[in-house]
Every structure is written in structure tokens, then in C-alpha cells.
Amino acid sequence: MALARSRRGDSGMNYWPGFVDALSTLILSIIFILTVFVVVQFYLQQEVAGKDTALNRLNAQIAELTDLLSMEKSGKASAEDMLAQLRASLASAESDRDKFKGIAEGAGAGLSAAQGQASELSSQLEGEKKLSARALAQVEILNQQIAALRRQLAVIEQSLAATEQKDKESQARIADLGQRLNLALAARVQELTKYRSDFFGKLREILGNRPDVRVVGDRFVLQSEVFFDVGKAELLPTAKTELDKVGDALAGLEKQIPADLAWVLRVDGHTDVRPISGGAFKSNWDLSAARAIAVVQYLIGKGVSPQHLVAAGFGEFQPIDVAKTEDAYKRNRRIEFKLTER
């Protein structure tokens, strides 16, 4: 610098050194500034890089805090629900407390009464114990009586079994006797049938071969006109003559039939279907019965035993011809003799 000034002094005004100095200073300043800028830029880059790292950390923390906040919100909602439930439970508990408090107060009031009842029950229990002891004694007596009854029942069952056996034997004997009786009755019926045939044959011989007298099965049938006028129950004189013959035949039959054979001669009266108008009889039934009785009474008067005679009236209800003609009416008006078992 001094050299430059000396040269300027020697040669006059020399601007170059100054310019160089200024330019050097400027260049140094620029280099300094650039150096400072570079340093600052380096530090700024480091700072920015640290800021980015911090920003990322902050973002991560913000995200974490956001998650924590959402969890806190859900937890808060759950806590609020739980709080509501706890409040409801608390209200219910308070209500139960008040209720139990009232019950406790009532129980305290009834405790004295319960104590009195307890003492009364205790006395009753003592009485029940005494009664129970007596009942047990009675039960023991009843057990003894039941045992005795069971023994008696066993004896009765044995007797009943023996009785049932005897009853079976008796039933067998009864069945056998019934079979024998049926056979005997069948034999008696056959025997009675024989006497019936003989009796009807004798009547046929006595009464002759008349168109108004006929045998139908096991019955000897005579028309009512042989014995009675129309609508009457008094025997005609000619009927008495015929009944005398029947009486004689019955008297002979009574001597032939064994005394132990139960038999009867049933006299049946029948009318036609035409109703009765006026007269002594209210219905055909009355007329038929009166005619049968008249015949039976006459036979009894002729010496026939009453125990061998039966009178029956059938009215118009047993016709042998259902036609609505005079011949049918005449056939239905009849007196029947039937020899049968009693």
C-alpha cells in the first residue's frame, strides 16, 4: 500500500491500486458474503431437515393424538352410558332402600306381635307333642288290630277258596241236573204230546167229521157259532151237548195222565176284527175272554178239575185269516182247545 502511495506520489495520480484494492475488498466481501450464505444455507438446510423430522414426528403425534381423541370420545360415550346405567341403578337402589326401610320399620312394629305369636305357637307345639304321643300309641294299637284283621282275612280267603271250589262243584252238579231235567222235561213233553194226540183223536171221534171242527197244529179249533150266538157269551143248548162230550174225554184223560205230569187244557177265545157296538161288552177282548170263561166254567161243572183248565181271551189280535170277507170273519171267530204243560 505504501509502495502504491509512493508511486502515486512519484508519478501523479495512479487509480489502479485503489481500484485493485477496492476490487479485492469487493471480492473478499462477496466471498465472505457467499461463505456466510453457504454457511447460513447449510445451517438452514440442517434446520429445515430437523424441522421436517420434527414435523413428521408432530404429524405422527397428531395422528396418534387423533386416534387417542377418537378412543377418548368412544370411551366418553361408553362412560356416559355407564354413568346413565349407574344413575338408573342408583335410583333403583334408593327405591329399594326406601322400600326395605319401610319393611324394616313395619317389621320392627310387628316384632313384638311375632314374639307373642311365637310364644303361643310354642305352647301349641307342646300340646301337639302330647297329642302326637297319644296318636303314636293309637297307631300302635291300630297296627296290632290291622295285623289281627289280616290274619282273619287270610282265614276268610282260605274259607272263600274252599267255598268257591264247592260252588264250582255245585255248579257242575247243577249243570248236570239241569241237563237231566231238560231231558226229563223233553221226555214229559213227548209223553204229553202222546196224550194230546190221543185226546184230539178221541175228540175227533166224539165230535165227528164236522166242517166247523178242525185240528190246527197242536190246537183243536171249533167255530164260535157252535157255542154262542153273535155278540153273546151264553152257551147254546147244542153247545152244552158238545161240551159234555169234551168233558167226558177230559175226565178219561185225567185218569190216564200221571199225577206228577203238570198239564192244563187252555181254552182260548177269539173274535173277528169288527168292533162291538153296544151290548154288554166294551170290546172284542172282553167278549173273547167271557166266552173262554163260560166254556171253562161249564167243564168245571161237569167234573173236570179246575187246576187242569185255563181261560184266555185274545180278542181280534190273533187272526188265522186276515182277509176282509165274511168267510174270514167266520174263521176268526173261534174257540180253541190246547193241551199244554203248565
* Residue 263 within a domain: yes
Distance CA 304, CA 254 (A): 8
Name the strands in the sheet holding 334-341, side by side, starting at the edge strand that comes first in the sequence. Answer: 213-216, 219-223, 334-341, 263-270, 309-315
306 near 267, Cβ under 8 Å?
no
pLDDT for 1 equals 45
Give, for 285, the enclosing helix (H) or strand (E): helix 284-301
Contacts of 219 (CB under 8 A, 6+ apart): 268, 336, 337, 338
pLDDT for 176 equals 72
**Greatest alpha-carbon span in the chain:** 231
* Residue 322 within a domain: yes
Range of the domain at 264: 210-341
* Total count of domains within the chain: 1
Residue 336 pLDDT > 90: yes
* Residue 227 within a domain: yes
pLDDT 10s digits, 45-64: 777 777 778 778 778 878 87
Instruction: Choose the weakest-confidence range: 104-108, 256-260, 279-283.
Output: 104-108
Question: What CATH code is carried by the domain that includes residue 325?
Answer: 3.30.1330.60
Give, for 327, the enclosing helix (H) or strand (E): helix 326-332
* Residue 243 within a domain: yes
* Residue 247 within a domain: yes
Helices (H) and strands (E) in the chain, counts: 5, 5
> What's the residue count for the chain?
342
Question: Hunting for cell 320392627 — which residue is that?
Answer: 108
* Residue 279 within a domain: yes
311 near 289, Cβ under 8 Å?
yes
